[in-house]
């Protein structure tokens, strides 16, 4: 999208706060397009193909992974950004990078790793995403990480404690001052929520963990379901599932766009700083649709995420991650030769802290299948 089409409160690539390490600008791509391309080509992004969204990946290859989820979030985010005339490239980059720091086995893996790291600074996937793009990716001669722009890095960091924010310099200031992120970051955040809810419904129905009868307990789902069935009486179950999910996404996204336009008109931001200094988020659903969305999320938590089969997967995931961490801590000789060499470089005072963080990085980077096979190998 040409920058002349963008609103004055959109983030412009030529007004970026820059990168951690200075680089020569590209002749053919703006700064946020370069960010997006670096994210797509990095190892952490490719590994998302084999990381779980909700269901353990190897249990069914037709279910969504972190990679397919990230692509779907990006599609929703770009639609919203384009409709509001803000920066589509930046929105896309944030959407594609938002899950880079996720462990294997979804939230179950993160919870287990966070518990293991309790005495060593904890583990949080947003901070891990930032750690990946700032430090862990090794692709370039002149700098560590991907050297993304401030604005993309800001969007990746959705949540952050004040303790951690103090360590992040300018990037952490908005958490200390209770400021808002850019509109593009706000869009990426809500696009994630929309995709998560609706695509988990699709996968839950595919897996047989949910049924139309269960989902019809949600007034929102029921109204969309009845509308689809009334409109097309000859559809099979697969077509109904697809059409209902499609309609719900369109309904929420349309409401979000129109509501956000009203809020933006009321608040009248005239530049990026006025967005950041706003007392409230400017990208929001209407109260009615937000309630419908939350009610559906609550139903999914009760009927899907706490389903007996999902609980069994969750238990296995936590046991696997915990076993890997504890075993590596006791027997670092089981780690790769490269990690063993790095661990030996730290003095005794730093040793346990640094070793734990490196092990957490290693486990967080694993795919579901590799974590399971590695657990078998070291048992």
Residue 52 phi, psi dihedral angles, 5° rounding: -70, 145
User: How many domains are contained in the chain?
Assistant: 2
Residue that finishes a domain, picked among 259, 287, 309: 309
For the chain, the farthest-separated pair of C-alpha atoms sits apart, in whole angstroms, at 71
CA angle 97, 100, 103 (to 5 degrees): 155
Nearest to 371 by CA among 70, 102, 42, 51: 51
Answer yes or no: do 220 and 314 share one domain: no
Answer yes or no: do 74 and 201 share one domain: yes
The pTM for the full model equals 0.94
Residue that finishes a domain, picked among 292, 309, 326: 309
Answer yes or no: do 143 and 289 share one domain: yes
Answer yes or no: do 237 and 330 share one domain: no
CA distance 368 to 52: 7
Answer yes or no: do 153 and 193 share one domain: yes
Structure token digits, residue 113:
């790793």
Q: How many residues does the chain have?
A: 379
Structure token digits, residue 349:
């005072």
Q: What is the CATH number of the domain that holds 302?
A: 1.10.3210.10
CA distance 288 to 295: 11
Q: Are 298 and 337 in contact (CB under 8 A)?
A: no
Specify the residue for token string 């896309």.
Answer: 92
Nearest to 90 by CA among 69, 114, 109, 74: 74
Answer yes or no: do 192 and 89 share one domain: yes
Residue 177 has a pLDDT of 87
Answer yes or no: do 62 and 186 share one domain: yes
Residue that finishes a domain, picked among 259, 291, 309: 309
Answer yes or no: do 93 and 162 share one domain: yes
CA distance 64 to 206: 11
Residue 362 structural domain:
310-378
Answer yes or no: do 351 and 240 share one domain: no
- Tens digit of each residue's pLDDT, the chain (379 residues): 444 589 999 999 999 999 999 999 999 999 999 999 999 999 999 999 999 776 555 555 557 789 999 999 999 999 999 999 999 999 999 999 999 999 999 889 999 999 999 999 999 999 999 999 999 999 898 999 999 999 999 999 987 778 888 888 888 889 888 899 999 999 999 999 999 999 899 989 988 889 999 999 999 999 999 999 998 888 888 899 999 999 999 999 999 999 999 999 999 999 999 999 999 999 999 999 999 999 999 999 999 988 888 888 899 999 999 999 999 999 999 999 999 998 888 767 678 999 999 999 999 999 999 999 999 999 8
Residue 5 has a pLDDT of 84
CA angle 58, 312, 323 (to 5 degrees): 80
Q: What is the rounded end-to-end Cα distance, in angstroms, of the chain?
A: 53
CA distance 168 to 171: 5
Q: Are 367 and 102 in contact (CB under 8 A)?
A: no
Structure token digits, residue 157:
């960091």
Answer yes or no: do 65 and 136 share one domain: yes
Answer yes or no: do 298 and 314 share one domain: no
Answer yes or no: do 81 and 98 share one domain: yes
Specify the residue for token string 């384009």.
Answer: 82
Residue 344 has a pLDDT of 86
Nearest to 184 by CA among 158, 155, 147, 153: 155
Q: At what angle do helices 219-231 and 287-300 cross, to 10 degrees?
A: 100
CA distance 191 to 198: 11
Q: Are 110 and 125 in contact (CB under 8 A)?
A: yes
């Amino acid at each position: 999208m040409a920058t002349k089409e963008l609103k004055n409160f959109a983030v412009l690539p030529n007004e970026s706060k820059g990168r951690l390490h200075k680089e020569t600008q590209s002749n053919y791509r703006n700064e946020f397009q370069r960010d997006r391309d670096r994210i797509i080509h990095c190892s952490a992004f490719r590994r998302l193909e084999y990381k779980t969204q909700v269901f353990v990946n190897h249990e069914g290859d037709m279910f969504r992974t972190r990679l397919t989820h990230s692509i779907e979030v990006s599609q929703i985010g770009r639609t919203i950004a384009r409709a509001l005339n803000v920066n589509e490239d930046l929105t896309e980059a944030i959407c594609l990078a938002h899950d880079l720091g996720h462990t294997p086995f979804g939230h179950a893996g993160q919870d287990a790793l966070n518990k293991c790291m309790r005495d060593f600074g904890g583990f949080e996937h947003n901070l891990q995403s930032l750690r990946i793009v700032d430090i862990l990716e090794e692709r370039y001669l002149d700098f560590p990480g991907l050297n993304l722009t401030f604005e993309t890095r800001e969007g990746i960091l959705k949540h952050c404690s004040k303790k951690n924010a103090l360590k992040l310099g300018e990037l952490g200031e908005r958490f200390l001052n209770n400021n808002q992120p850019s509109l593009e970051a706000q869009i990426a955040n809500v696009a994630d929520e929309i995709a998560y809810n609706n695509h988990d419904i699709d996968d839950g129905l595919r897996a047989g963990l949910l049924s139309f009868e269960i989902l019809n307990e949600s007034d929102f789902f029921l109204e969309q379901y009845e509308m689809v069935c009334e409109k097309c009486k000859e559809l099979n179950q697969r077509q109904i599932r697809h059409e209902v999910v499609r309609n719900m996404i369109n309904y929420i996204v349309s409401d979000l766009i129109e509501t956000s336009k009203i809020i933006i008109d009321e608040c009248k931001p005239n530049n990026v700083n006025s967005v950041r200094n706003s007392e409230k988020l400017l990208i929001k659903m209407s109260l009615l649709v937000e309630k419908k969305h939350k009610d559906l999320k609550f139903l999914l938590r009760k009927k899907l995420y706490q389903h007996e089969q999902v609980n069994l997967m969750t238990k296995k995931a936590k046991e696997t991650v915990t076993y890997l961490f504890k075993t590596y801590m006791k027997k670092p000789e089981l780690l790769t030769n490269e990690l063993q060499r790095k661990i030996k470089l730290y003095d005794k005072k730093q040793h346990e802290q640094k070793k734990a963080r490196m092990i957490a990085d290693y486990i967080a980077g694993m795919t579901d299948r590799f974590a399971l096979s590695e657990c078998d190998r070291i048992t």
